[in-house]
Amino acid sequence: MKTRVLALTSISHFINDGNTWVLPTVYGFMTKYLGFSNFIVGLIGTVFFVLSALASPLVSYIADKTGKPMESMGLGIILWGIGLILLGFSLKIDSLPLVFLSTVIVGIASAFYHPLGAAALALTYQGSGGSALGINGAMGSLGRSLYPYITLVLFTIFNKNMMLDLVVIGVVSIIAALPSFTVKISFQQTKAKASTTAKASTYAVGILTLISLFRSIFTNGVSQFLTIILLDILGFSYNAFLGEVMTGILAAAIVGQPLLGYLSDIAGRRLLQGISTGGAVISFLLFIYLHNIWFLPLFGFFTFSNFSVTLSLTSDLVPRNSTGLANALVWGLGVSGGGALGPFIVGLLSDHSGLVQALLIVSVFGLISALMTPLIPRPPKRSKVPLFG
């Protein structure tokens, strides 16, 4: 049973995080072949992250009512497949309303995997699944890295037919989700007792949520436009080689995620939180001013290796019976909220001031986030970093 749960959650993590990066890859197609403005692309990114944040309570409700994390996880992956198939059709007929409808569907779908996959693994391994979480987290990073390349290879094979491209990716998602409905594990929610350290915990969660919000405005403002950055700033062509470059940028987190987790056990999570954000800002600014593409994998390393550190830091700052709510606030309001604002800001400003100027402006939010790190209270306890970002 353990092996099967690990295999299915890892496959779902691979597909969920991979599908998330299909969208920024397709944004380049939208601007190059359909004439979408950067503002529209930014708005699409905003809708995706807003729906992801708003769907989080829905996911919690489903989990509470059904008590079946594997089946609920499978439902989320199926929704991914349906949304991507609809997106392909909407691009084929060049229908902006359908593009936004498909974005709503995949935004909701993106809210399912992480809480439900984590719950399934926690139930299965009962606190002894450190290596399993490492494998699972690496599969998510691998999917995020490979899917831009897979998307553009299929785009080339299908003679620039993006609809067929997305239909294939969507159908694979649906098929891969079906075995999750055959695994029967369940859980029951227990009511948490009130914490005597509520005031301190509220401050800690509040400041970390704000720091995560500013960080995510920067990182998602940049990452959702990565394909367009490579097309417009460096003059890349929209082909399989572009996918290879995107994969190289994102693949750094496969190594970075366990490395930052290990270093945070030694040096402390507060320090690693600040270093990862500051490193992302500095590496991206070096890219903007020097136009040296080798700074983008460094940006990817610092950006996409941070999530497990952030959530572990949150867990260290609050009582154990408040961890779920605290993570929901930091992730939902902070990370997803910034993910909604960042692409919107870049899209809006780039149509008026240019893409580079817009990117420099959101970089300020990243710098503020890094400088706010000392405001985070020192954690009263230490926990192992879950390699599950």
Local confidence pLDDT in tens for the 389 residues of the chain: 778 888 998 999 999 999 999 999 999 999 999 999 999 999 999 999 999 888 876 776 666 566 677 888 899 999 999 999 999 999 999 999 999 999 999 999 998 887 777 667 767 776 544 556 667 777 888 999 999 999 999 999 999 999 999 999 999 999 999 999 988 776 554 444 444 455 567 888 889 889 999 999 999 999 999 999 999 999 999 999 999 999 999 988 888 777 776 777 677 778 888 999 999 999 999 999 999 999 999 999 999 877 667 766 776 776 655 555 666 678 777 888 898 899 999 999 998 899 999 999 999 999 999 999 999 888 765 455 444 45
* Torsional class of 211: left (φ above 0), alpha (ψ -120 to 50), beta (otherwise): alpha
Q: Residues 98, 100, 103, 107: is their CA dihedral positive or negative?
A: negative
Cβ contacts of 271 within 8 Å, gap of 6 or more: 264, 373
Q: Are 330 and 212 in contact (CB under 8 A)?
A: yes
d(CA 69, CA 46): 27
Q: Which of 285, 287, 267 is nearest to 373 (CA)?
A: 267
First and final C-alpha spacing in the chain: 23
DSSP string across 58-74 = HHHHHHHHH--HHHHHH
d(CA 67, CA 63): 5
What's the pTM?
0.81
As given in the structure block, the two tokens for residue 152 are: 């553009």
Task: Please state at what angle helix 307-317 crosses helix 269-290, rounded to 10 degrees.
Answer: 150
As given in the structure block, the two tokens for residue 305 are: 């290796």
| pLDDT tens digits, one per residue of 9-27 | 899 999 999 999 999 999 9
